[in-house]
Amino acid sequence: MGLSGSVAGAAGTFAIAATNATMPRTGHAQSQYTVTGIPEAGAVVIGCASAGPVDPAIKAPFCFAGLPAQIPVQPGQTVTGTVNFLPPGTAVPGVATAGLLAFGALSSGLGLRRRTRLFRVSALAVLGLAGAVGLTGLIGCANGAFNGMTPGIYQYTVSAAFTPTAPGPLTVLATTTVSVTVP
């Protein structure tokens, strides 16, 4: 990756640090990250992936850094946030809710308010779908579909990718390793 000008000089200070985490076999955990040394105005995208081999026989946590989004940044800014570690088979936070909210917003924007009966029926359908999604998760856990993660220490790579405001290739990538302990 080639860097030029003032960005090349600042690239040496661009870094990400994150805390290790301990999570119960049936719970969640979080790691706090801090990105420093933003070289110029642009955007940062945070990522997370397993740093070790994937063994399908092991129930390891998976990481979720958030929906892919560019965080607007200014030179020298510090960015902080959270990476979530979830049990396998857990719904990704915000994805189902975002879909239901989008459907509700689209439905109400299509003139359904004028037809009160149709509006009530679609509102009930959205609420029913939301309830079904919630009950499915509760029933799956209650019936023993999820019996906990395999105890161990798991390694994850948390990354910060910086891209300048001006169009161009990825300028800087920083990574760190996080250990997640499942006792």
Which residue(s) pair with 154 in the sheet? 180
pLDDT of the residue at 183? 94
CA dist., res. 14 & res. 175, Å (int): 10
Give the number of other Cβ atoms within 10 Å of residue 47's Cβ.
Answer: 16
**How far apart, in whole angstroms, are the C-alpha atoms of residue 71 and residue 10?**
19
Flag whether the pTM goes above 0.85. no
**Mean pLDDT of the chain, nearest integer:** 75
Q: In the prediction, which pLDDT does 110 show? A: 46
Q: Kindly state whether residues 55 and 14 are assigned to the same domain.
A: yes
Residue tagged 């063994």 (tokens): 55
- Whether residue 13 is contained in a domain is answered as yes
Taking the alpha carbons at both ends of the chain, their separation in whole angstroms is 40
* Residue 80, pLDDT score: 97
Q: Is residue 38 part of a domain?
A: yes
Domain holding 83, by residue range, is 5-88+152-182
Work out the average pLDDT over 151-157: 95
pLDDT score, position 29: 96
Say what the pLDDT of residue 93 is. 62
CA-nearest of 146, 155, 149 to 63 is 155
Write the CATH number for 41.
2.60.40.10
pLDDT at 18: 98
By percentage, how much of the chain surpasses pLDDT 90?
Answer: 46
Residues 63, 110: one domain? no
**Do the beta carbons of residue 33 and residue 18 sit within 8 Å?**
yes
Q: Is residue 147 part of a domain?
A: no
- Contact yes or no for 149/87 (Cβ under 8 A): yes
> Taking 80 as the threshold, does the pLDDT of residue 41 lie above it?
yes
The Cα–Cα gap between 96 and 113 comes to 24
The highest-confidence range among 72-86, 115-129, 167-181, by mean pLDDT, is 72-86
- What integer is the mean pLDDT of 92-120? 48
Tell me which of 44 and 123 has the higher pLDDT.
44
CA distance 176 to 131: 39
